[in-house]
A and B are shown apart, each in its own frame.
Chain A
Amino acid sequence: MSPSPSKMEQYWKKNLQTLAILLFIWFIVSFGFGILWVEELNTIRIGGFKLGFWFAQQGSIYAFVILIFCYVIRMNKLDKEFNVNED
Chain B
Amino acid sequence: MDLLTWTYLLVGLSFALYIGIAFWTRAGSTEEFYVAGGGVSPLANGLATAADWMSAASFMSMAGIISFSGYDGSVYLMGWTGGYVLLALLLAPYLRKFGKFTVPDFVGDRYYSNKARVVAVICTLFISFTYVAGQMRGVGIVFSRYLELPIEWGVVIGMAIVFFYAVLGGMKGITYTQVAQYCVLIFAYMVPAIFISMQLTGNPIPQLGLGGDIAEGVPLLDKLDGILGDLGFGEYTTGRKGTMDVFMITLALMVGTAGLPHVIVRFFTVPRVRDARLSAGYALVFIAILYTTAPAVAAFGIYNTILSTSEKPIAELPTWVRNWQQTNLIQIEDKNGDGKVQYLPDPNTNELRIDKDIMVLASPEIASLPNWVVGLVAAGAMAAALSTAAGLLLVISTSVSRDLFKTFRPDISDKKELRIARLAAGGAVLLAGYFGINPPGFVAEVVAFAFGLAASSFFPVILLGIFSTRINKEGAIAGMLTGLTFTISYISYFKFVAPELNTAAHWWWGISPEGIGSLGMALNFLVCFGISYLTPPPPKKVQQLIQEIRIPKGAGKAADH
Contacts and interface: CB of A to CB of B under 8 A. Distances in A.
Given A57-B71, A86-B553, 10 more contacts: A19-B90, A22-B89, A26-B82, A30-B82, A53-B237, A58-B207, A64-B82, A68-B85, A71-B88, A86-B555
The number of chain A residues touching the other chain, given as a range, is 35 or more
Interface of B: 66, 71, 73-74, 77-78, 81-82, 84-85, 88-90, 93, 207, 210-213, 219-222, 237-239, 243, 246-247, 250-251, 254, 272-274, 277-278, 280-281, 284-285, 288, 291-292, 295, 547, 550-555
Interface in A29-66: 30-31, 34-36, 38-39, 42, 46-50, 53-54, 56-58, 60-62, 64-65
A46 B243 CA distance: 23
A15 B217 CA distance: 50
Contacts of A31: 247, 250-251
Contact of B219 (A48, A56, A83): A48
B238 A42 contact: yes
Nearest to B236: A53
A8 B254 CA distance: 30
A39 to B, nearest CB: 8
B250 A35 contact: yes
A11 B211 contact: no
Contacts of B250: 30-31, 34-35
Contacts of A57: 66, 71, 73-74, 77, 210, 292, 295
Contacts of A38: 71, 239
A35 B272 CA distance: 37
Contact of B552 (A48, A56, A85): A85
Contacts of B85: 22-23, 26, 64, 67-68
A75 B430 CA distance: 44
A34 B78 contact: yes
A6 interface: no
B58 to A, nearest CB: 13
A22 B81 CA distance: 15
Given A30-B250, A56-B74, A64-B82, A48 B284 contact: no
Nearest to B209: A48
Contacts of B554: 86
A12 B547 CA distance: 10
Nearest to B88: A68
B12 to A, nearest CB: 34
Nearest to B81: A61
A86 B552 contact: yes
Nearest to B249: A35
A37 to B, nearest CB: 10
A56 B281 contact: no
Contacts of B281: 65, 68-69, 71-72
Contacts of A22: 85, 89
Contacts of B552: 79, 84-86
A87 interface: yes
Contacts of A39: 238
